[in-house]
Amino acid sequence: MNFLSLIEAKRDGRTLTADQLQAIVAACTAGEIPEYQLAAFLMAVFFRGLNTTETTALTLAMRDSGDVLKFPKDKRPLVDKHSTGGVGDKVSLPLAPLLACLGFRVPMISGRGLGITGGTLDKLDSIPGFQTTLPTERITEIVQSVGCVICGQTERMVPADKKLYALRDVTGTVPSIPLIVASILSKKLAEGLDALILDVKFGCAAFMQTKADARKLAKAMVTLGNQCGVNTRAMLTDMNTPLGRAAGNWLEVKESVACLDGKGPTDLRGLVLDCAAHLLLQTGKSKSPAAAHQQAEVCLNSGAPRRKWDEMMVAQGADLTAFNQKLACDHTAPVVVELKAAKSGFVSRCDARIIGEVIRDLGGGRLTKDSVIHYDLGVDQMMKPGERVEAGGTLARIHAAKDTDAKSALARFKEAFAVSPRRPAPGKLIHEVLI
């Protein structure tokens, strides 16, 4: 293959055929293209874009660059959720066992966090003994027996994305809609799904800062997912404020368990139930949005998803006794300090970007792919916009490794929160649904 002529074709704005895109992906996976040429190709795509046919061809070629999960025939539909990521976004944790209890199979292949956005696998790694690296055969086994698994991509799944994503990360070519679509959907399509719900976030702590950009990305993913035979929907959700009251790996596991216990913050519970309700509708298991919501709520309230969570943890190697002991602790970080309100009023700002940055800098997140995470650091008891606070009341608790870190986090948290005399107009969490 003359790879140079394909780079030139894309550089000049010409359309590539499915065969050409498949050849590029195959050669990339086999390591037959020098990285400088792949990087030039990615930059050409960044500037010239890909049309829908090209994006589909690239996505399918990437999906087929490695193993695709295969499941036995079963009346339980295969479903998953993908979020573009944010601060405090722990929806996957309570959602997977809830979906399993609703009669779905959930092969939830997740990722790690980078920068200010958290990653599901990092949260699970805070659980004693929990294995997030599983071989393909074990993934399908757990899905068949338990109903849900949450783990990382195996070495053999979508290897083309691994290579291309690493290159995009260092060549300024991550924010390209066709490349993002191909990257996310190739991984989701490799799960062999019947239905997929996407949570595309927008706002100061999201990958897509504006609602218009989030809509563009969501539209492209919904179109392509449906074209590839996976019933796909997307929600556009606000990520200017963290989701829930806790952010940071272990603290988010705790909050997820509270959600499964029927407690926890209402925004988290609402989003979990909405994701489940959409999947019930997408797979024809419910006939109306109201019925779907009720079905999801009755199931969550039954306590069965909480027991399913334990079952999934055990299947993935967790030490339940150690987990329960850890869960019973008020905090597991060495230092905990409180941010107090200087005056009475209503919380009018709880800035997800600043909070995410502080958690990352405390050591609860990664600055680079090789950073070592301290799982127990983060923030909890966060007050959210619209809530009343009295002078001296707690706006948030910071969990740090040492006093000096806690002190500097406290100073930065003063910028993250604002208290006003008037209650701000209530903000929406879910702004749109794209079908």
Shortest Cβ 37–ligand URA spacing (Å): 20
183 is catalytic: yes
161 is catalytic: yes
Residue 402, CA distances (Å) to 62, 125, 384, 409, 416 in order = 44, 22, 26, 11, 21
389 binds ligand URA (CB under 6 A): no
Shortest Cβ 187–ligand URA spacing (Å): 6
Nearer to ligand URA, 98 or 179 (CB): 179
Q: Of 93-101, 128-136, 174-182, 415-423, which part binds ligand URA (CB under 6 A)?
A: 174-182
303-308, long-range: CB < 8 A, 24+ apart: 303/261, 303/262, 304/101, 305/94, 305/97, 305/98, 305/100, 305/101, 305/260, 306/97, 306/257, 306/260, 306/261, 308/97, 308/98, 308/100, 308/101, 308/146, 308/147, 308/148
- Residue of minimal Cβ distance to ligand URA: 183
How many residues bind ligand URA (CB under 6 A)? The answer is 6
Say if residues 271 and 265 touch (Cβ distance below 8 Å): no
Shortest Cβ 84–ligand URA spacing (Å): 6
The backbone torsions φ and ψ at residue 220, rounded to the nearest 5 degrees and listed phi first, read -65, -40
Burial class (CB in 10 A: 0-12, 13-18, 19+), 91: buried
Q: Of 172-180, 197-205, 253-261, 417-425, which part binds ligand URA (CB under 6 A)?
A: 172-180
112 is catalytic: no
Count CA within 13 A, CB hemisphere, residue 96: 27
Of residues 342-381, which lie at the interface with ligand URA (CB under 6 A)?
none
Which among 81, 105, 187, 233 is annotated as catalytic? 187
Shortest Cβ 371–ligand URA spacing (Å): 18
180 binds ligand URA (CB under 6 A): yes
Distance between CA atoms of residues 363 and 185, nearest Å? 31
Of residues 89-118, which lie at the interface with ligand URA (CB under 6 A)?
none
DSSP code for 154? P
Which x/- pattern, by CB under 6 A, does the window 181-200 give for ligand URA?
Answer: --xx----------------
Which among 83, 126, 176, 183 is annotated as catalytic? 183
Nearer to ligand URA, 203 or 264 (CB): 203
Shortest Cβ 240–ligand URA spacing (Å): 19
Say if residues 430 and 268 touch (Cβ distance below 8 Å): no
What is the Cα gyration radius of the chain? Answer: 22
Distance between CA atoms of residues 205 and 88, nearest Å? 10
Which among 123, 168, 233, 269 is annotated as catalytic? 168
Distance between CA atoms of residues 234 and 246, nearest Å? 25
Q: Which of 109, 119, 91 is nearest to 300 (CA)?
A: 91
Which among 64, 80, 89, 161 is annotated as catalytic? 161
Which among 76, 82, 269, 353 is annotated as catalytic? 82
Which x/- pattern, by CB under 6 A, does the window 127-166 give for ligand URA?
Answer: --------------------------------------x-
Binding site for ligand URA (CB under 6 A): 165, 174, 179-180, 183-184
Catalytic residues: 82, 161, 168, 183, 187
